């Protein structure tokens, strides 16, 4: 069975500092990896995905993610955090014969002014 | 972008009631999904549908059923609501192969069962 782990329930970063939200995965076969963001009382919004090709994927709002096959990780990054980046972030995994996406439990990102 | 709408943002029902949650998408996507979101548990798949009149169980289908009579509409039904079904319900739609295409989500319905 495939799985996604987000090891941190919450990440605190000062505004202007770089941020990283961690995600690791387990799957048989090729992984297809996604990041979504959820603002309070809203649905999820797609940020970026890795299907194949370059290990560094660029997405919306200045976010990027690095796919690392040897470490089975897909960490979300941003060079300079904004207070408006504060939200709940989900990593998701497709592939492995599953019909849809398997979501992690989410990480609360808090950017302090 | 695909627009996915859900019939209610907030809903309060009583134990034992039959509850209908409606989801409509406007971009002719063939795949539609229902998830529930609970703190610390992330999103869990209840049911999904690849096409009209087709449905497949997800990870937690017990206590739920679905209906897809038209391509744009996917309904989630709680046959007899219970307090442990109090949750945020999210509908999503995607085109093509579900496991490598991004899903577009509705705003969610926060259901409280008393």
First to last CA, chain B: 36
Average pLDDT for B25-44? 92
Pick B42's closest partner by Cβ from A49, A51, A104: A104
Q: Which of B17, B25, B21 is nearest to B87 (CA)?
A: B21
Kindly compute the dihedral angle of the four CA atoms of residues A91, A51, A73, B50, in this order, to the nearest 10 degrees: 40
Nearest-Cα residue of chain B relative to residue A39: B107
pLDDT at A42: 82
At residue B99, the pLDDT reads: 76
Q: pLDDT of A23-47, one tens digit each?
A: 999 988 888 999 999 998 788 999 9
In chain B, residues 60-89 whose CB comes closer than 8 Å to chain A: none
Task: State the pLDDT at residue B88.
Answer: 95
Predicted local confidence at residue B2, as pLDDT: 62
Q: Where are the alpha helices (DSSP H) in B53-95?
A: none
- The confidence score (pLDDT) of residue A96 equals 60
> pLDDT tens-digit profile of A47-84?
999 998 889 999 999 999 999 999 999 999 999 999 99
Q: Do A94 and B90 touch (CB under 8 A)?
A: no
Chain A with chain B: Cβ pairs closer than 8 A: 62
Alpha carbon dihedral B38, B53, B55, A43, in 10-degree steps, equals -30
Q: Which of B6, B28, B44 is nearest to A42 (CA)?
A: B6
Report the Cα A33 to chain-centroid distance in Å.
8
DSSP tag of A60: G
What is the distance, to the nearest Å, from the Cα of residue B7 to the centroid of all Cα atoms in its chain? Answer: 11
Kindly report the number of other CB atoms within 10 A of residue B84's CB atom: 9
pLDDT tens, residue by residue, B36-94: 999 889 999 999 999 898 899 998 999 999 999 999 999 999 999 999 999 999 999 99
- CB contact (8 A) between residue B99 and residue A32: yes
């Amino acid at each position: 069975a495939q799985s996604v782990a987000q090891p941190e329930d919450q990440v605190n970063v000062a505004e202007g500092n770089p941020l990283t939200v961690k995600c690791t995965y387990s799957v048989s076969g090729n992984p297809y990896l996604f990041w979504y963001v959820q603002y309070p009382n809203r649905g999820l919004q797609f940020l970026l995905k890795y299907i194949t090709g370059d290990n560094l994927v660029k997405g919306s709002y200045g976010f990027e993610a690095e796919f690392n096959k040897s470490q089975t990780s897909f960490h979300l990054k941003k060079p300079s955090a904004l207070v408006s980046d504060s939200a709940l972030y989900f990593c998701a995994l497709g592939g492995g014969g599953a019909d849809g996406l398997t979501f992690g439990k989410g990480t609360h990102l808090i950017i302090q002014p | 972008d695909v627009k996915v709408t859900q019939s209610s943002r907030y809903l309060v029902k009583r134990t034992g009631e039959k509850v209908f949650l409606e989801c409509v998408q406007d971009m002719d996507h063939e795949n539609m999904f229902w998830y529930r979101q609970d703190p610390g548990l992330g999103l869990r798949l209840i049911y999904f549908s690849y096409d009209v009149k087709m449905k497949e169980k997800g990870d937690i289908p017990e206590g739920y059923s679905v209906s897809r009579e038209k391509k744009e509409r996917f309904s989630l039904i709680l046959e007899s609501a219970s307090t442990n079904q109090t949750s945020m319900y999210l509908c999503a739609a995607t085109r093509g192969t579900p496991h490598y295409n991004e899903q577009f989500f509705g705003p969610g319905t926060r259901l409280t069962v008393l």
